[in-house]
């Protein structure tokens, strides 16, 4: 099953997980001017080419080219997919992901539910998915 989070929610999760603080819990970062640098967690190196940019809340490794936001960092570091990474960061920042859906999503769900109920009803009535030919007795007994 595919799940999607609204973009605003992803943005909020990103803003609640400061990249310097997050990456700093995995990598020993040193301040370098406006940015921070450290040894890249994705490739082996002796001098730090891994850089964190607080202003853009992003990271980039000049050694291996790895880069992105907190979400990409966690995806690669924790071996998660995008959705799992978003959930990981939400939990980390104490956010509860809303059960509530957007009006468009609820509408879509309602339509799907109605369709499913109709199908179930038709199935019960033997109008659908019947492999055997319908027999008249089946109805006269009930
Ligand atoms: Zn690297």
For residue range 104-135, what is the model confidence (pLDDT) as tens digits? 666 776 777 777 777 777 767 666 555 555 55
Using the mean position of ligand 1's atoms as its centre, give its distance from the Cα of residue 82 in Å: 20
Q: Measure 44 CA to ligand 1 centroid, in angstroms.
A: 7
Each residue of 42-61: b (16+ CB within 10 Å) or e?
eeeeeebbbbbeeeebbbbb
Higher pLDDT, 15 or 118: 15
* pLDDT reported for residue 97: 77
Using an 8 Å Cβ cutoff, are 38 and 30 in contact? yes
For residue 35, give the H/E element and its range. Answer: strand 35-38
Tokens of 73: 């960092």
CA distances from 86 to 43, 109, 123 (A): 24, 23, 39
Cα(12) to ligand 1 centroid in Å equals 27
Long-range contacts formed by 64-71: CB under 8 A, 24+ apart:
64/40, 66/40, 66/42, 69/14, 69/19, 70/14, 70/17, 70/19, 70/22, 70/23, 71/10, 71/13, 71/14
Q: How far is the CA of 123 from the centre of ligand 1 (A)?
A: 57
* pLDDT exceeds 70 at position 98: no
């Amino acid at each position: 099953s595919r799940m999607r989070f609204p973009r605003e929610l992803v943005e909020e999760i990103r803003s609640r997980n400061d990249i310097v603080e997050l990456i700093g819990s995995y990598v020993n970062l040193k301040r370098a001017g406006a940015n921070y640098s450290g040894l890249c967690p994705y490739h082996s190196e002796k001098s730090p080419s891994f850089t964190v940019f607080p202003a853009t809340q992003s990271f980039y490794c000049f050694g291996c080219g790895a880069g992105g936001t907190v979400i990409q960092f966690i995806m690669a570091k924790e071996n998660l997919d995008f959705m799992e990474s978003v959930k990981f960061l939400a939990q980390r920042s104490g956010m509860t992901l809303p059960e509530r859906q957007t009006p468009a999503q609820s509408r879509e769900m309602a339509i799907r539910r109605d369709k499913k109920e109709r199908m179930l009803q038709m199935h019960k009535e033997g109008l659908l998915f019947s492999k055997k030919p319908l027999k008249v007795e089946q109805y006269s007994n009930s």
